């Protein structure tokens, strides 16, 4: 670890830090020199992460809040501000997922996802921004998803919340930039986290690695550290000219056309025959070879 990290002396609040991406972001922020307030709802991995951070010589504490209750979300912001003495970096990672056929989604499920993924984050951020303006500015990094950019069956509600975060990031970024606050977002692709083993029947490391090699252009799935390092960059001075953007970190998944799934095999198609120099029909080439 560097003696002085990219976030040396910074004070950060990371929501949803009990597991997966959020927990790793909190740890990486500490490795890069930040003091960290960690939020959790049910998963108490944030407490062990806080202990690990204190072992690095940083200040850290874990706070519980249910984002379905907007008062608890705002209260979390206040607790973090009081503990840290201000906030330089806010990482809005807390969120929940649901996959369900559109016609089966209940009002309660819809409201819960939007309350947790959008409303709670929005009003927590509002309180943090008030603090940042009092202390000369800061940086906000929102976690969205490639589900906000591409369609997937049975994810209409979840994708709706992630699309909302992308739009809200863009607008808030241009509203606050001249006041010294930068706002950006990260849209992760396939990042293997603990929840996969709970939610996906038969999920295992060997088969997962094989599937990722076949489906993801970079030939592997992502890890929480891949996203944590990007979050550090966006919250550091290295990214001071980046505003209102959603950075996709997905190993090339969204860059790949879904019409070409077998991207490692040379195509047998020959587009351009008859009007692009040097492009000939395969049958004609084979006949010449036979002669």
How far is the C-alpha of 89 from the C-alpha of 275, rounded, in Å?
55
C-beta separation of 193 from 139 below 8 A? no
Phi/psi of residue 140, nearest 5 degrees: -120, 130
Q: Is residue 218 within 8 Å of residue 263, measured between CB atoms?
A: no
- Cα–Cα distance list, 218 to 189, 263, 267 (Å): 12, 11, 19
191, β-bridge pairs: 222
Interhelix angle 156-176/107-114, nearest 10 degrees: 30
Residues with catalytic annotation?
Answer: 158
Yes or no: say if 32 and 2 are a contact pair by the CB < 8 Å rule: yes
């Amino acid at each position: 670890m560097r003696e002085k990290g990219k976030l040396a002396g910074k004070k950060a609040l990371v929501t949803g830090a009990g597991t997966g991406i959020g927990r790793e972001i909190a740890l990486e922020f500490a490795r890069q020199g930040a003091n960290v307030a960690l939020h959790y709802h049910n998963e108490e991995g944030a407490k062990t992460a806080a202990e690990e951070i204190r072992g690095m010589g940083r200040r850290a504490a874990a706070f519980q809040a249910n984002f379905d209750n907007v008062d608890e979300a705002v209260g979390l912001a206040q607790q973090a501000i009081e503990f840290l003495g201000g906030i330089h970096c806010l990482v809005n990672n807390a969120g929940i997922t649901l996959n369900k056929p559109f016609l089966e989604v209940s009002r309660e499920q819809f409201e819960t996802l939007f309350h947790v993924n959008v409303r709670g984050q929005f009003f927590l951020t509002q309180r943090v921004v008030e603090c940042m303006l009092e202390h000369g500015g800061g940086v906000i990094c929102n976690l969205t998803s490639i589900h906000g950019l591409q369609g997937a069956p049975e994810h209409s509600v979840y994708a709706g919340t992630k699309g909302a975060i992308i739009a809200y990031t863009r607008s808030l970024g241009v509203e606050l930039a001249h006041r010294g606050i930068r706002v950006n977002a990260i849209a992760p692709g396939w990042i293997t986290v603990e929840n996969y083993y709970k939610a996906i029947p038969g999920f295992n490391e060997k088969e997962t690695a094989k599937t990722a090699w076949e489906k993801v252009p970079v030939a592997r799935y992502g890890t929480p550290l891949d996203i944590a390092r990007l979050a550090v960059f966006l919250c550091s001075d290295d990214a001071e000219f980046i505003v209102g953007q959603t950075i996709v970190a997905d190993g090339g998944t969204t860059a790949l056309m879904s019409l070409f799934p077998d991207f490692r095999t040379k195509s047998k198609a020959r587009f351009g025959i008859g009007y692009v120099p040097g492009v000939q029909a395969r049958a004609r080439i084979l006949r010449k070879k036979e002669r």
